[in-house]
Amino acid sequence: MGRVMLAEERRNRLLELVRVQGFASLPALAGELEVSESTVRRDLDCLEESGEAKRTHGGVFYTGASPKLQHFDNRQSTHWEEKRKIAQVASELIQDGDTILLDGGSTTYELARLLVGRTLQIVTNSLPVANLFASGDSAELVFIGGYVQPRLGVTLGPYANGMLADLNVRRAALSVASINQDGYYNSNLLLVETERAMMKSADEVIVLADSTKFGHRSLSRLCPLGDVDTLVVDNNISEDWRSRLCASGVRLLVAGGSDNAS
């Protein structure tokens, strides 16, 4: 019985570490708990079965207390490796002490995971993003109020836009649904209005987009290509698009590539 209790306590500690950090690597968890990685893997199997954590390549992220948003979950699992690499590059643009605004996109959520534990001011309209920072003490969290869009778990509308009008942030990191020669697009009219308010509140606008977003258009245009300061993409982006974006004045950063353009 004592050994069972010990294992239960270890799993509770493991879950708490993942919950606080948002994402953790297997070696880091094994070191923190002073057990082998194989023991951590067995414990994680139990946490996955209960729906409290999800293993990925190289680690595990917390899923227990997040709102259950099926549409968000489906987007989150699409092109995950590319999104993770993009988020890593974007995280290197953010300095400790920054005030950073994060929207509710699946790639910005990956960025949010990497920012957990850093000394920042986080402003967001995303329930899943806010959940990552709500219980930590290293980042200050400002949540944008308004109408909650249930499929995406984000706040939108005039109340959200009004609050954003009174804020100023160092950087805003946004996701988009598609990009073509006319600019950046999203598929929800209210979301586009709120993201425009986010852009106005920011000194620097960063868009995170995987290469599958290029060459398409969605319901509503957010802005022209050149209205964004920095665009972070994966290295499957075509040479034609690299040239077009640089010509528009956008600073282009390619995750996994050796030739970042400015």
Exposed (0-12), middle (13-18) or buried (19+): which is 73, by Cβ within 10 Å?
Answer: middle
User: What is the location of CATH 1.10.10.10 in the chain?
Assistant: 2-62
Q: How far is CA 74 from its chain centroid?
A: 14
Q: 70-255, what's its fold? A: Rossmann fold (3.40.50)
Residue range 2-62, CATH number? 1.10.10.10
User: What is the location of CATH 3.40.50.1360 in the chain?
Assistant: 70-255
Whose CA is closest to 158, among 197, 185, 127?
A: 197
Is the alpha carbon torsion for 148, 164, 142, 56 positive or negative? positive
One digit per residue, pLDDT tens: the chain, 262 residues? 334 447 778 888 888 787 766 667 888 888 888 898 889 888 888 888 777 777 766 677 776 544 444 444 445 445 678 888 999 999 999 999 999 999 999 899 999 989 988 999 999 999 889 988 887 778 999 999 999 887 778 999 999 999 999 999 999 999 999 999 999 999 899 999 999 999 999 999 999 999 999 999 899 999 999 999 999 999 999 999 999 999 999 999 999 865 555 4
Q: Tell me if the pTM is above 0.85.
A: no
The residues, any chain, with a CB within 8 Å of residue 10's CB and separated by 6 or more, are: 33, 35, 39, 43
